[in-house]
């Protein structure tokens, strides 16, 4: 029997809806929120209000693009966490109401699982997907984790940040440089024009496979502070070199732990996911890293690196096939391990 899943994602500041039928994506609609740019970061209350405005038109458009009616749906998948609680409440409440009205099951999805499984998004039957087990590097503004993915429902965190995430390092360093929010894409653009060896920033010495980016962030801040004292125009004159050196240092930190991870857990496939996986330098470095080791690299299309409902739909589709439905009494949650 055919399975058609509508998925809803509202964990942060993007409202997204997607339709998947028998594992094939039929639509993926995303409404981004520009209101946060003026504040240099996501304002939770504004985010939840924008979700309330966006969710009905976004879901309607996803159904329209998929060419189906809501009566054809087999289940509703929704991100139940982690994320901003107010934003999650909008998506979860809407999904529950729609599931009740249609008399179909609700499937809850861990947002981080969605990123890890984003490589299973297919637009046609012939699209390739990773083989289990594979290593996943999840890199975003809130998370930096190395995950051993043994099955869609069996994942082990083998390394993670003990403080800031890689995306935070990009965004916060960009902010002190005076770049607009979100800063990561601006660092990426400037890095292409700069010298990655122009500046040296501190690298952590954390045992095992765990990450740390707080020391790098502090080192970057001190470099700016010390140089701006002598030359107030230092940042403007050196933006490209600062961006290139910052990006190169973050990539070096990421790959150092990945190298240790693949020695401890030999795999034939490696995937990256999360917002930072859109970074050009990260994408190229991971591809080279895998090529040198004979590992197949899975680099997501940029549209699937940010928060999107297609990844939620795929994670929900797997759970639906096993009959793992979500009781309507369960609330959203803000934090949880993968």
pLDDT tens for the 338 residues of the chain, in order: 799 999 999 998 899 999 999 999 999 999 987 767 766 777 888 889 999 999 999 999 999 999 999 999 999 999 999 999 999 999 999 999 999 999 999 999 999 999 999 999 999 999 999 999 999 999 988 899 999 999 999 999 999 999 999 999 999 999 999 999 889 999 999 999 999 999 999 999 999 999 999 999 999 999 999 999 999 999 999 999 999 999 999 999 999 999 999 999 999 999 999 999 999 999 999 999 999 999 999 999 999 999 999 999 999 999 999 999 999 999 999 987 66
This model's pTM is above 0.75? yes
DSSP letters, 37-103, are GGGTS--HHHHHHHHHHHHHHHHHHHHHHHT--GGG-SEEEEEEESS-HHHHHHHHHHHHHHHHHHT
Length of the chain (residues):
338
Cβ neighbours around 109 below 10 Å, total: 28
Is there a contact between 194 and 242 (Cβ–Cβ < 8 Å)? Answer: yes
Hey, what's the torsion of the CAs at 332, 334, 335, 338, to 10 degrees?
Answer: 50
Can the peptide bond before residue 182 be classed as cis, meaning omega within 30 degrees of 0? yes
Tokens of 220: 């970057």
Is there a contact between 219 and 213 (Cβ–Cβ < 8 Å)? Answer: no
Is there a contact between 117 and 310 (Cβ–Cβ < 8 Å)? Answer: no
Distance CA 15, CA 30 (A): 6
Q: To 10 degrees, what angle do helices 166-176 and 239-264 make?
A: 170
Q: How far is CA 155 from CA 112, 164, 218, in A?
A: 11, 22, 32
Q: Max alpha carbon distance in the chain (Å)?
A: 71
**Element (DSSP H or E) covering residue 8:** strand 4-9
Is there a contact between 213 and 165 (Cβ–Cβ < 8 Å)? Answer: yes
* Helix/strand/coil for 270: strand
Under DSSP, the state recorded for 278 is G
Is there a contact between 113 and 143 (Cβ–Cβ < 8 Å)? Answer: no
Residues whose CB is less than 8 angstroms from the CB of residue 70 and which lie 6 or more positions away in sequence, other chains included: 6, 63, 98, 102
Among the listed residues 208, 103, 102, the one whose alpha carbon sits nearest the alpha carbon of residue 146: 208
No. of helices (H) and no. of strands (E), the chain: 10, 10
Looking at residue 242, its pLDDT comes to 98
Q: What are phi and psi of 231, to 5 degrees?
A: -145, 100
Tokens of 72: 């054809």
């Amino acid at each position: 029997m055919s399975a058609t899943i509508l998925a809803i994602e509202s964990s942060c500041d993007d409202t997204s809806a997607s339709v998947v039928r028998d594992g094939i994506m039929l639509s993926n609609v995303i409404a981004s929120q520009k209101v946060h740019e003026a504040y240099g970061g996501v304002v939770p209350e504004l985010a939840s209000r924008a979700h309330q405005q966006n969710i009905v038109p976004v879901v309607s458009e996803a159904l329209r693009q998929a060419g189906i009616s809501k009566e054809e749906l087999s289940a509703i998948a929704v991100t139940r966490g982690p994320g901003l609680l107010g934003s999650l409440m909008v998506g979860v409440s809407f999904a529950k109401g729609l599931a009740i009205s249609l008399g179909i099951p609700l499937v809850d999805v861990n947002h981080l699982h969605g990123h890890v499984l984003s490589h299973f998004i297919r637009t046609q039957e012939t699209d390739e997907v990773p083989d289990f087990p594979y290593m996943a590097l999840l890199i975003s503004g809130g998370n930096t984790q190395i995950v051993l993915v043994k099955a869609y429902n069996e994942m082990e965190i083998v390394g993670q940040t003990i403080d800031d995430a890689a995306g935070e390092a990009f965004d916060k360093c960009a902010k002190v440089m005076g770049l607009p929010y979100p800063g990561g894409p601006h660092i990426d653009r400037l890095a292409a024009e700069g010298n990655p060896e122009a500046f040296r920033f501190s690298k952590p010495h954390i045992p095992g496979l765990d990450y740390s980016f707080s020391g790098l962030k502090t080192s970057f801040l001190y470099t700016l502070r010390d140089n701006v004292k002598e030359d107030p125009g230092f940042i403007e004159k050196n933006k490209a070199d600062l961006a290139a050196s910052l990006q190169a240092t973050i990539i070096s930190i990421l790959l150092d732990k990945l190298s240790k991870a693949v020695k401890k857990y030999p795999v034939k496939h490696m995937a990256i996911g999360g917002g930072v996986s859109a970074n050009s330098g990260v994408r190229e470095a991971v591809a080279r890293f895998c090529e040198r080791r004979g590992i197949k690299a899975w680099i997501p299309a940029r549209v699937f690196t940010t928060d999107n409902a297609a990844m939620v739909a795929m994670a929900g589709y797997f759970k639906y096939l096993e009959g793992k439905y979500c009781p309507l009494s369960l609330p959203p949650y803000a934090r949880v391990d993968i």
